[in-house]
Structure 1
Amino acid sequence: MIEEGSESKKKSGKMKWIIMLLVLLLLGGGGYYAYTTYFQNSTEAAAPQDVQLEEVDTSDSMVVTLPSFLVNLSDPLGRRYIKLTLDVEVANADSAQTLEAQGAKVRDAVILLLSSKSYADLASLESKLLLKNELVTRLNQIIGSSKVVRVYFTELVIQ
């Protein structure tokens, strides 16, 4: 009788190890899937923008300087902010005039984008490059076409 009790304890111990191994494999597989789906694609998102930039003829391009932005970041305590000054490269003089004429819409779009970011969202170099791409996309939406070629950060302070 003593042997039967110890044998059932050995089987239940083995079953616990098998279950833990299966859970560990499932978590590892889920982590790998999340990495390849969300994080790996975010690094590749910067590449299409660079390819598109090479296709645009920049011989007539102009640079428009936007006024500085001072925006609170989306942090729980509300104590972090970003100060950002941008130079926007546009395809031609007409695009520059359109961008300047849409000044209120441009400031609104940039402020809304920056205020939706947290310090963690902007801390790494990769995230700053993604922010540049997001700004180009937003500004192109305002102008109505792909006239914004690049965005240059001339001043960037995150505190």
Structure 2
Amino acid sequence: MADKKEKGNGHRLQIIIIILLVLILIFGLAFGGYMIFFRKDSNTASADTQNTKVLNPAASEISPFTYSLDEFLVNLSDEGGKKYIKVKIYIGYTAKDEKKISAELEEKKPILRDAINSVLRSKKSTDITTEKSVSDLKKEIINRVNPYLEYATVNNIYFYDIIVQ
């Protein structure tokens, strides 16, 4: 009787070890597959980023300095005037003269905000739905505000929050 009990315990132990080994093998294969898949996606993403830099250097460039233009709440030009955009915007810029740019940005903040307000007011809600349309909006804002600045060049627009309703 003791022999049957020992054989039963030994058999159970073997089954438990086999199950654990199979689970470890499954998790190992799953992890390996995930790493291969993830590594493939990151290479694709970096290739996409490189293509973006070639097509649109302003949108992919990281600016050394940023300045908050605060929050904008603007009616869009949709029919009926019931749509609006709420967005917090930071401009990214390169300073030509770091000492003078802070004063210039503070002094010209109302002018910059007005320029951006006029760009936003001219848009419809459908103009801000895709990544390309948002990229085009950023380019338009950059082109609108750059002429106002003497000691800096705006090279990117960062939307901190954006809501279209």
**Pair in the same fold by TM > 0.5:** yes
User: Residues 82 and 52 from structure 1, CA distance in 2 versus in 1: closer, same or farther, beyond 3 angstroms?
Assistant: closer
- In structure 2, the partner of 1:85 is 88
Deviation at 1:141, TM superposition (A): 1.6
Aligned partners of 1:135, 1:153: CA distance in 2, in Å?
12
C-alpha distance in 1 between matches for 2:139 and 2:86: 18
Runs (4+) off by over 2 Å: 46-49, 51-54, 92-97
The answer to whether the 8 Å contact 1:89/1:148 transfers is yes
**Partner in structure 1 of residue 148 of structure 2:** 142
Q: CA deviation at 1:68?
A: 0.2
Distance 1:81 1:62, change over 3 A: same
Residue in structure 1 matched with residue 13 of structure 2 by the alignment: none
The CA distance in 2 between the partners of 1:52 and 1:153, in whole Å, is 12
2:157 is the counterpart of 1:151: yes
The alignment partner of 1:91 has SS state of: strand
| Residue 130 (str. 1) matches residue 133 (str. 2) | no
Distance 1:96 1:129, change over 3 A: farther
Q: After TM superposition, list the pairs within 5 Å mapping 1:28-39 onto structure 2.
A: none
Unaligned 5+ runs, structure 2: 1-52
Q: 1:70 to 1:85 in 2, by over 3 A?
A: same
Partner of 2:124: 118
Deviation of 1:125 (Å): 1.2
The two structures, once aligned, show a CA RMSD in angstroms of 2.5
TM-score (norm: length of structure 1): 0.61
CA contact (8 A) 2:101 2:151 kept: no
Aligned twin of 1:19: none
Identity %: 29
Q: Measured at CA, do residues 108 and 154 of structure 1 come closer, stay the same or move farther in structure 2, by a change above 3 Å?
A: same
Secondary structure at the aligned position of 1:101 is classed as helix
Higher Rg: 2
* 3-state SS of 2:82 partner: coil
* 1:69/1:83 contact within 8 Å kept: yes
Cα distance in 2 between the residues matched to 1:88 and 1:66: 7
Residue 97 of structure 1 deviates from its aligned partner by 3.1
Task: Give how far 1:147 is off.
Answer: 1.0
